[in-house]
Amino acid sequence: MPIAFHAESGLFHLQTPSMSYMFQSLRGFPAHVYWGRKLSEAAAERLLKRVERASFSPNPVPEDRSISLDTLPQEYPGYGSSDFRNPAYAVQLPNGTTVTELLYVSHEIKAGKPALEGLPAVYDERADEAETLIVRLEDRLSGLKAELSYTVFEAFDAVIRSARIANAGAEAVQLTRALSFSVDLPHDRFELLQLSGSWARERYVHKRALTPGVQAIESRRGSSSHNNNPFFALLAEGATEDHGDVYGFSLVYSGSFAGGVEVDQFHTARAYMGINPFDFSWRLEAGESFQTPEAVLVFSHEGLGTMSRTYHELYRTRLCRGAFREAVRPILVNNWEATYFEFNADKIEAIAKAGSELGIELFVLDDGWFGHRDSDNSSLGDWVVDQKKLPNGLEDLAERVRSHGLEFGLWFEPEMVSPDSDLYRAHPDWVLHVPGRRRSEGRQQLILDLSRADVQDYIVEAVSGILRSAPITYVKWDMNRNMSEIGSALLPPNRQRETAHRYMLGLYAVLERITSAFPNVLFESCSGGGGRFDPGMLYYMPQTWTSDNSDAISRLKIQYGTSIVYPVSAMGAHVSAVPNHQVGRLTPLKTRGDIAMSGNFGYELDLTAFTDEEKEEVKRQVALVKDVRGLVQYGSFYRLLSPFEGNETAWMFVSPDKREALVVHVTVLNEAHAPLGRLKLKGLDPEFRYEWIGTGEIVGGDELMYAGVAKERVRGDYHSVVYRFIAK
């Protein structure tokens, strides 16, 4: 059984193919025992050593002075009764105090993976592929209760954790902290890896050694944000891409979050993550409960690469849903950088016609098709077609595009409203705001209050009406500002700090309704590019626009960093014009295509402006992508060279049967009289003989991995090469 309970010691042992996770009820306290490589069996007393510390670590159990919550490794710690570290939860009781102590009461082990009401979550497809442990805790004095949920899958070295906190007392309490997990590791000899950046520079890889105190990442922006992704990893001493112990922590949530590691006086490390406690509280009336988002904890003893591939497969197959989970994604052209707001039906049709001649499969009409939107200062919220630009409407335009053999897609930004809009003039109270305070604008827009049912209904009806009005098969769902003046006109004063989380619950409800009603539409999420690239959004939309920065060389770091936790099938990657509109760089068209093919491939430029030579290169790119996109989207991904560590970047894809591989290698700046080098591949079968496509050579898998291939001599900057290998 993947989950075992040993009644005599109170030990819970969760097992996956290569991992064990163990904790025990120690005098009622859920105490963490072990997390690492799989153990067949072990005694808790050998793994969890306890000694009496000085009086500055108080003892809650007088008869056993080896127990102090200040030193005990715990599973879901509170604060106030001798643990001075960051707690997983905090509650203010009716008498104003905040001291609680959740102790073990009972547990249940059941088949399958339960869904979380109103929240995105990893799921099972068969009850026998997963098992879930529910541990019930209670503070007998206050009546506060908690259920800790742990799920393990038969195929993944992961533990999925969440908590439900309930008020079984007679009076209301105020929940001020409700993290999804906490876990205490026995030492601090780790590097912390985080994915941080900004708009147009998302998910850069940063590493730092742990030191005493708190090392944290967070978002206070009302979204997971461009700045810090809701993920971090701990790399044990000596861990690399391919070797050593790595622990990953990923939050399935799209709002403000906090996560980090606290190193205490004894150099143990407490890792935690969940909804950001900053400016958060939740009133729990008697009988009510609060469900935290879930977190996915992954262990690898084979380095960062294996951790990433676990996340990739788990998120691709047991988080993403719907018809496009397994289907290859269409090659698209988006008109944004080709036209911005300046277009009409004839210009759109001309781009679609040019795309048809190049083999492109989908045209996406971006911003500017609705209201009177000739710039970004008006019309958000007024989801009616601009008759000046499109006098015959979307249906006519879609049919004109489809007449050239392309499907038709559309951009929306449904969560926003322009002050210059009919919607805002009719419903000024529908936005997030605080009475008497200014309404700060971002990109000249305000945020609709999705905590309100009437706002949710309006968005569902408005978007659904457009999707029913024309043959639309793709939606780009954008969100272009972060929250300020966070307040709701419908919530009472003692619930105002619930607004941001209620917004997320409202957004998830809207997405569930719309994506369920239109199951054959491919939805792509976007937030100024990668400002909400998180597992929560992937549950509703299987791909995300990776970054508004479409420069190929910038994308080396952005896509590489994103791949640390997210599957390639989730990344939108397009070829754009040069000089690039974000950084002004001139990059060869071949290089732009080679880098963009490592994602959901498309173009974001004016196809009608291509030269004959450029058309031939694009035809080559499109043909190659159609040939390899199944491998790219659903093969195993291996990182070979990091753009954060040198002048070269390389990665590769290997089919599940190891019979096919695709390698992308990019050299950023040329070097005069450079040394010769070799690129060692990964993930192949050493016994296979592979045809090196384009050369006619037959090469052993062992040679490709252990000796490698000779790197091409480079001419010019921003040079790329693609290698393909197919087993004979």
Which pLDDT value is given to residue 412? 97
Which pLDDT value is given to residue 46? 85
Which pLDDT value is given to residue 43? 78
> Which own/partner pairs from 367-376 qualify as long-range (CB within 8 Å, at least 24 positions apart)?
367/336, 367/340, 367/341, 367/411, 367/413, 367/478, 368/339, 368/340, 368/341, 368/343, 369/394, 369/410, 369/411, 371/421, 371/422, 373/341, 374/341, 375/341, 376/443, 376/444, 376/445
Residues present in the chain in total: 728
Catalytic machinery residues: 478, 548
| Low-confidence residues of the chain: pLDDT under 50 | none
Structure token pair of residue 179: 């993290």
Which pLDDT value is given to residue 1? 65
ω before 414 within 30° of 0 (cis)? no
CA distance 312 to 300: 13
| Torsion angle of C-alpha atoms 616, 622, 628, 634, degrees rounded to 10 | 150
Phi, psi for 259 (deg, rounded to 5):
-155, 160
Does residue 296 contact residue 250 with C-beta atoms inside 8 Å?
yes
Structure token pair of residue 253: 């949530």
Q: H or E element: which one contains 692? A: strand 689-692
DSSP E strands in 292-355: the ranges are 295-300, 332-334
Q: H or E element: which one contains 355? A: helix 345-358
Q: Please give the model's pTM, rounded to 2 decimal places.
A: 0.97
Does residue 424 contact residue 381 with C-beta atoms inside 8 Å?
yes
Structure token pair of residue 90: 């905090």
Does residue 640 contact residue 650 with C-beta atoms inside 8 Å?
yes
Which pLDDT value is given to residue 145? 98
Which pLDDT value is given to residue 642? 98
For residue 473, CA distances in Å to 103, 331, 521, 600, 648 come to: 52, 13, 4, 16, 38
For residue 179, CA distances in Å to 182, 192, 260 come to: 7, 19, 11
Written as one letter, the residue type at 99 is V
Residues in Cβ contact with 610 at an 8 Å cutoff, skipping those fewer than 6 apart: 354, 618
For residue 294, CA distances in Å to 122, 250, 306, 662 come to: 8, 9, 22, 34
Which pLDDT value is given to residue 713? 86
β-strand pairing of 571-576 with 600-604: parallel
Does residue 529 contact residue 247 with C-beta atoms inside 8 Å?
no
